[in-house]
Amino acid sequence: MSELAPYASDPARSRGRRIAEPSAPTRHDFQRDRDRIVHSSAFRRLVYKTQVFVNHEGDLFRTRLTHSLEVAQLGRAIARSLGLHEDLVETVALAHDLGHTPFGHAGQDALDECMQPHGGFEHNLQSLRVVDRLEQRYPDWDGLNLCFETREGILKRCPQAIAERLEAEEPGGVGRRFLDGTQPSLEAQLTNLADEIAYNAHDLDDGVRSGLLDMQQAMAVPLVRRHAESALAEHPTLAAMAPRRWLAETIRRMLSAQVYDVIDHSRARLQQAAPADAWVARGHRGLIGFSPEMRADSAELKRFLFANLYRHPQVNATTAAARQIVRELFDGYIEQPQRMAPEFASSADRARGVADYIAGMTDRFARREHQRLTGRDLFAELR
C-alpha cells in the first residue's frame, strides 16, 4: 500500500462495528470486512447473476461477479494514485452489488412493483440488508457485523423516509448523512465512480461482442470515436483484420483516459480543499470526480447505451420474461410460503421474507423455481 493521504480513511480510526469484536492479529478491519464479504454466500451467487445479459445467454459476458472485480480493480488503481485507502475501496466494490436481484434491473423493477404496498424494494438497501441481517454465518449475530465505513459505502442511495427509519434504529449511523446532506468517505465516492466507469466500458464491450451493437454505430459517441480512431491511427489494419482487438484496444484507451481524468481532476480538488482528515472530507462536495468535459463524455456514452443496448428489442424480450418470472414467483410464494426455504417462510413480515428470498436467487435458480411453480419455462418459449 502506498502512503496514505491525511484525508484517507484509516482502519485505526474506524467508527467500528455495531457489535464490538477484538481486533485480528494480522489483518486490519477493512481487510477483515473484505474477507467476510468474499466468504459470504451472497458473494458466491454473484457469479450467476445478470449484469445486462441474462446469465444463460453466453459465457463471455459480464456477470455481477466479474463486474464487481472490475470495479475493485479500477477503484484500487485510482485510490493508490490519490493516497486513499485501497482496501476500503476493494471492500466496498466487492459488496456493492450483493443486494441485486436475478435478471439485473428488470428483476429489481419487477420486485419493487410487487413490494409497493409493503415498503418497496431497492437493491442498494438490499445490499446493506444482506450484510447487516441476511447472511447467517456467526453463532451470536445475524449479518457480517461490518465496519461503519464499509456499510456507509454500500448504502450509496437512500430515500428520506428510509433514512429516517435507519436513523431511528441506529442513531448517527449510516442513514444520517442522507438527513444531514453530507458525503460518504472519499473511498466510497471513488467506488461509486469506478462502478460507472466499469459498466459503461464493459457494457459497450459486451454489446459489440454480442452483435447487438456495432463499432460504426458506437463511434457516434465522442469518447468512443476518439479512442477508436487513435487506435486505428497507430494500427491501421485493426478494423479490417482484427475487429475484436480493435474493440479491446479502444476500450483499454477509454478506460485509461477516464482513470487519468479522475486522478488529475480529483487531485486538484483535494489539494485545493485540503481536508484535514477523512471526517472533514465528508463535509465537502465534489472532491472525487471527472473533469466537466469527461463528465459530459461519460453521460453521452451512458445515453447511447440506454437507447441502443438496454432498450434493444432482443434485450427487451428477455426483460419482459424476467419481469414475469419475478412477479409470478412473488405471487406464488405469498400464497404458499412453505415453498420457500424455511428461514424465509418463517419471516414475520411475509412480503419482506418473499422479497429477500427472491432477491437472493441467481438467474438460473429463479428460472428453475418458476418452472417448478408454474410448469412454464419462459426463456425457452422466447426461442
Nearer to Mg ion, 73 or 347 (CB): 73
Q: What DSSP state is assigned to residue 63?
A: B
Question: Which residue's CB is nearer to Mg ion, number 202 or number 367?
Answer: 202
For helices 64-82 and 186-210, angle between their N-to-C axes, nearest 10 degrees: 130
Q: How far is the CB of 97 from Mg ion (least distance, A)?
A: 5
**Number of residues in contact with Mg ion under rule CB under 5 A:** 2
Position closest to Mg ion via CB? 195
Tell me the sheet residues that pair with 147.
17
What is the b/e burial string over 205-215, where b = at least 16 CB atoms within 10 angstroms of the residue's CB? bbbbbbebbeb
In the complex, what is the shortest distance from the CB of residue 157 to Mg ion, in angstroms, rounded to a whole number?
A: 12
Burial 103-126 (b: 16+ CB within 10 A, else e): bbbbbbbbbbebbeeeebbbbbbb
Smallest distance, Mg ion to C-beta of residue 295, A: 19
| Binding span for Mg ion by CB under 5 A among 38-46, 189-197, 258-266, 372-380 | 189-197
Q: Which stretch binds Mg ion (CB under 5 A): 89-97, 144-152, 277-285, 310-318?
A: 89-97
Confirm or reject binding of residue 70 to Mg ion (CB under 5 A).
Answer: no
Q: How far is the CB of 93 from Mg ion (least distance, A)?
A: 8
Query: Which residues, including other chains, have CB under 8 Å from residue 87's CB and lie 6 or more apart?
Result: 1, 11, 28, 30, 31, 34
Tell me the closest approach of the beta carbon of residue 50 to Mg ion, in angstroms.
12
Residue 195 engages Mg ion in binding (rule: CB under 5 A): yes
Site for Mg ion in 329-358 (CB under 5 A): none
Minimum distance from residue 103 beta carbon to Mg ion (Å): 15
CB nearer to Mg ion: pick between 63 and 145: 63
Nearest distance in Å: CB 238, Mg ion: 30
Cβ nearer to Mg ion, comparing 270 with 359: 359
**In terms of residues, how long is the chain?**
383
> Grid coordinates 465505513 are at which residue?
149
In the complex with Mg ion, the residue whose CB is nearer, 97 or 328, is: 97
Residue whose CB is less far from Mg ion, 66 or 217: 66
Residue 50 sits at φ, ψ, to 5 deg, of -65, 140
Query: For the CA atoms of the chain, what is the radius of gyration?
Result: 22
- Which window, 77-85, 92-100, 136-144, 264-272, contacts Mg ion (CB under 5 A)? 92-100
Rank residues 65 and 147 by Cβ distance to Mg ion and give the closer one. 65
Nearer to Mg ion by C-beta: 90 or 195? 195
Of the pair 202, 284, the CB lying nearest Mg ion is at 202
**Cell numbers for 165:** 427509519
What lies within 8 Å, CB to CB, of 18 at 6+ separation is 145, 170
Question: 124 by DSSP, 3-state: which?
Answer: helix
Beta strands, E only, 206-310: none
Span from 74-82, 187-195, 282-290, 291-299 in contact with Mg ion (CB under 5 A): 187-195
Is the distance from CB of 70 to CB of 76 less than 8 angstroms? no
The nearest distance, CB 114 to Mg ion, in angstroms, is 23
Q: How far apart are the C-alpha atoms of 103 and 275, rounded to whole Å?
A: 41
Nearest-approach distance from CB 278 to Mg ion, in angstroms = 23
User: Which residues, 95 to 114, sit near Mg ion by CB under 5 A?
Assistant: 97
Could you tell me the CA-to-CA distances from 301 to 89, 127, 219, 274, 295 in Å, in that order? Answer: 25, 27, 10, 32, 10
Residue 203 binding Mg ion, by CB under 5 A: no
Q: Catalog residues that contact Mg ion under the rule CB under 5 A.
A: 97, 195
